[in-house]
Amino acid sequence: FWLASVLTGCVDYVSTQGLVLGVYESEREDDSLHLTESAAGVDRVLSGKLTELLKISGPGLKKGKSRIFYGLHEDFPCIAVVGLGRNSLGVCGTEYWDTCKENIRAAIAGGCRVLQNHVLTHIEVDGCNDSQSAAEGAVLGLFTYDDLKTKKKTRVTTQLHGSGCVSGWEKGVLYGEGQNLARYLMEAPANHVTPSVFADTITNRLAPYADHVTVHKRSQEWIEEQQMGAFLSVSKGSEEPPVFLELHYNGCPDNAQCPLLLVGKGITFDSGGISLKPPSGMDAMRADMGGAATVCSAIVTAAALNLPINIIGLAPLCENMPSGKANKPGDVVTAKNGKTIQVDNTDAEGRLILADALCYAHSFNPRAIVNAATLTGAMDVALGSAATGVFTNSDWLWEQLHKASVVTGDRVWRMPLFQHYTRQVTDCQLADLNNVGKYSRSGGACTAAAFLREFVTAPHWAHLDIAGVMTNKDEVR
């Protein structure tokens, strides 16, 4: 009766706790499984019943797959066992990530989602010998944006099961929550996250760290005083006033080190302006401030982690809308550094607001400048959702970004900054620069990066085009 009840799921329970455990595939070509330390501990408590059920419930549990067992443990009415792949895998020279970490994130995320669908409110999670990756997977996997729905998903709390690394778990939770903040801002409708609301949201999230974070919510008057003509030209088409958000995180207040400068594109809705986008898929343009969302969320996370580094974040925020005041194809505007720009495509607006922000960034004598932007559809065409395209003038900065990407699983791929592309934006009929390349769609991501380079004098600068990874497509697990 016990075995039948477990296999059919016909066990009555009132507890709302669940448990996610991991198993590794055999290093040999067979279906044998190897339990993680936490899973083996649970199996001992159950006198080997977990191992027995895994053997009789089907073939070996492959990477990313899961099985649910009911009524097996008196404290956990539902136990999800997830496949972690092989334990021997590490950094893959062809995939450019740590395969073991990525397998843990994906498996734990899947297991937590399965248990959430069982209306459980608390889940304990196997650290899988890498508590940080497990925590990241749990927090990311349970994210949902349903603020505006009457029926909401079950809210689930998580904690580390067993005796894993608690500090690693806590760090992973903060990493995951930081990413979820960016996802929240990008998912929310544009009428709920205007430039001002975006700035207020970040300000509120940084309030607990006021002792080492300073926030400046700059007004349109300030933007005008700074002579940010390119930024203002985009914002004037909308009734929503622009905001220039400036964040200073001082993790080393006694250290006079030059700060890391982060700049994020903050178009809270992109209609394309006069060069109007097709209606199909335009709703996704509420997330066109993904660069600003990731930059600001990174600073929130740095503050929560109390990282020993000084960071300045800049986020020019506005909408790109069509109106009688909006940019028209052929208009010429003047950027903060005095360069004139012929606006031949009003849907190439992100580079205009970034141009002024990059000019302003140099006033802080930064150690390095990194800007992030959902900048070009051409990047999505080139790399899809597999990796962020990185354009940089610094081999040192590229190495830092690449090393970080291998550990986090957020892969990057270096793209060219040839003079070939620069000539395509400087060969302009009416102004110093054109906001689109001479040959229109050809190498669009590269000509956009070449345009931005015209506003950079810092020796260590990187432009991250995150347009391809802006949405979580179905091939991303």
Q: Of the residues 105, 183, 205, 351, which is catalytic? A: 351
CA gap 128, 104 in Å, rounded: 7
Residue 273, CB-side half-sphere exposure with 13 Å CA sphere: 25
Mind spelling out the 3-state secondary structure of the chain?
CHHHHHHHCCCCCCCCEEEEEEEEECCCCCCCEEECHHHHHHHHHCCCHHHHHHHHCCCCCCCCCEEEEECCCCCCCEEEEEEEEECCCCEECCCCEEHHHHHHHHHHHHHHHHHHCCCCCEEEEECCCCHHHHHHHHHHHCCCCCCCCCCCCCCCEEEEECCCCHHHHHHHHHHHHHHHHHHHHHHCCCCCCCHHHHHHHHHHHHHHHCCCEEEEEECHHHHHHCCCHHHHHHHCCCCCCCEEEEEEEECCCCCCCCCEEEEECEEEEECCCCCCCCCCCHHHHHHCCHHHHHHHHHHHHHHHHCCCCEEEEEEEEEEECCCCCCCCCCEEEECCCCCEEEECCCCCCHHHHHHHHHHHHHHHCCCEEEEEECCCHHHHHHHCCCCEEEEECCHHHHHHHHHHHHHHCCCEEECCCCHHHHHHHHCCCCCCEECCCCCCCCCHHHHHHHHHHCCCCCCCEEEEECCCCCCCCCCCC
Q: Answer yes or no: 277 catalytic.
A: yes
Spell out the residues 6+ positions from residue 11 whose beta carbon is closer than 8 angstroms to its own: 5, 70, 71, 77
Q: How many CB atoms lie within 10 A of CB 44?
A: 12
Which residue is catalytic, options 277, 328, 367, 411?
277
As a residue count, the chain comes to 477
Closest C-alpha among 79, 72, 89 to residue 133: 89
Positions annotated as catalytic residues are 277, 351
